[in-house]
Amino acid sequence: MYHSYHINYLLRCLALLVLGLCGVLSIADSPNIVVVFTDDQTYRAIGYNNSEVFTPNLDRLASEGLIFENAYVASPICAASRASMMTGLYPQQHKVIALAKENFSPFQKGGTRAHLTLSSQIGSLGYRSVAYGKSHLGDPKNYGFTEGEETGPHDDVDTFARVALFIASDRAKEQPFFLWVAPHQPHVPLLPEQAWLDLYDTDALSLPENFRVAPLSESINNQGLPREAYYRDSKYVRNWQKLPAGPPRDEVTMRAFIHAYYAVISHLDHQVGAMVDQLKVEGLWENTILFFLSDNGYHLGSHGLGNKITMHEESVRVPMFAAGLGVPQGKRSEALVSSLDLYPTLLRIAGAKSIPRHAMGESLQPIFQDATASVREVVFSEGVGVGGEPGQGHRMARTARFKYILTGTGEEYLFDERVDPAESSNLIDGNAFPEKRQELRKYLNAWMIRIGDRTLP
């Protein structure tokens, strides 16, 4: 059944098509916006990047839309990354570093910066903003969502069931909506059901090219405070059997973890597919644009690590794609993209005439119009170990080919991602590409000054 805003959209877009003015994302009426924001899903943990992972629904959606091959998060740790998504700022700017969610209070209801959250901004444009799933920042209604709640860890009954109730409700048809779906999967503890485990043969699963039983004692691998040699993970539980919480992890142990990790992602794939099917049944999909990404990546034994927090690709790079209304089909973009780019992009889609000046991201509209376009030369990320303080932790400046990392104790690393995607050879050791080292140091230094970070040594 078509409702008034569907009819208005179709009529206006038809008129614009006749006039030759209906360009990519230049739609005539406010579309529904859905963001699926998973937890701890690394870039290679999706079928279109890794054929070992069974994600048919996500693969289909991605193939019908636009894949962002090189998407990076503002920070590879949960609360900091989520606060960045909601504010358009880096952690040193919004002050939610590590897991210090109490620093988010200025962006909460009644706070001096509450009007700047993504949900508040989209709500001011006439949207019903709805959030279900993991928040990590408190009740979503306290930072700008019209309705919703932080739900428990069981995504079927806690998150997607509530999402399904909203999609089926009259509220979803009365005005355009911004629906933020934040599953807990695949965050540990991993509790996959047997049906999803049965999709995989543990012994046939590949370990990462850069797998190690234990990490090298280098500052780049430290997941704690500066000068610690702290390697973080949480326990994985399956049939009441506990695997080690940290290294060393042998190949058998790591394959068991990867098996469970892929299984819960396959379950997640099924849940997202069912959600999209429901949007279609309710007549909402034709006026909906969907974005999919994760809050950070995850080490699966790469470099001898589990968890995230470092500046390695496995930790800071995530899968990301867009599908639905106005999205070019069957395209892949190699452009460097930041999770902060969703803030201005979603506001533009929602009809904002201007973007708040504080926002650090770039609108992705040029890439929607031309998949070969780019919006930046370099992408940045920062990470503070659990319990860290402002100014601590690792920093990254990444260009299309090179990555420069400054560790929490001031050590430098330079990797040629084109020839060494496993990040196994530090080019600074042999003084290779000295001009690139200096170029990326300048990029990083300017960025650190801009966000009020510590100074580059």
- R_g (Cα) of the chain, nearest Å: 21
Predicted confidence band at 389 (pLDDT cuts at 50, 70, 90)?
Answer: confident
8 and 107 in a common domain: no
**Segments forming the whole domain that contains residue 1:** 1-30
| Helices 161-168 & 251-281 angle (0-180, nearest 10) | 10
223 and 139 in a common domain: yes
Whether 305 is covered by a domain: the verdict is yes
Give CA–CA dist 80/355, Å, rounded: 22
Q: What is the mean pLDDT of residues 25-31?
A: 62
9 and 111 in a common domain: no
208 and 237 in a common domain: yes
Domain boundary among 322, 348, 377: 377
Whether 325 is covered by a domain: the verdict is yes
22 and 42 in a common domain: no
Peptide bond into 176 cis (omega under 30): no
pTM listed for this prediction? 0.92
Task: Name the strand (E) or helix (H) holding 183.
Answer: none
Name the domain count of the chain.
Answer: 2
CB contact burial 193-209 (16+ within 10 A = b; e otherwise): eeebbeebeeeebeebe
Encode pLDDT of 67-120 as tens digits: 999 999 999 999 999 999 999 999 999 999 988 888 999 999 999 999 999 999
Give CA–CA dist 139/110, Å, rounded: 14
Task: Name the strand (E) or helix (H) holding 33.
Answer: strand 32-38
169 and 25 in a common domain: no
How much is the mean pLDDT over the chain? 91
Q: What six digits make up the tokens of 379?
A: 């992408």
Domain boundary among 345, 377, 409: 377
* Residue 305 DSSP code: -
Give CA–CA dist 81/453, Å, rounded: 17
220 and 75 in a common domain: yes
Domain boundary among 341, 358, 377: 377
Whether 408 is covered by a domain: the verdict is no
305 and 176 in a common domain: yes
Q: What is the mean pLDDT of residues 128-149?
A: 97
User: What's the pLDDT at 77?
Assistant: 94
Neighbours of 150 (CB within 10 A): 18
Q: What is the mean pLDDT of residues 347-357?
A: 96
Phi, psi of 17, deg, nearest 5: -65, -40
Encode pLDDT of 408-441 as tens digits: 999 999 999 999 999 999 999 888 899 999 999 9
Whether 444 is covered by a domain: the verdict is no
Whether 72 is covered by a domain: the verdict is yes
- Within 8 A by CB and 6+ apart from 378, the residues are 336, 397, 398, 399, 440, 443
User: What's the pLDDT at 244?
Assistant: 59
38 and 26 in a common domain: no
Supply the CATH number for residue 350's domain: 3.40.720.10
Give CA–CA dist 432/415, Å, rounded: 10
122 and 228 in a common domain: yes
Whether 83 is covered by a domain: the verdict is yes
User: What's the pLDDT at 61?
Assistant: 98
14 and 145 in a common domain: no
- Give the bridge partners for 300, in sequence order: 306
Encode pLDDT of 215-236 as tens digits: 999 999 999 989 888 888 755 5
261 and 352 in a common domain: yes
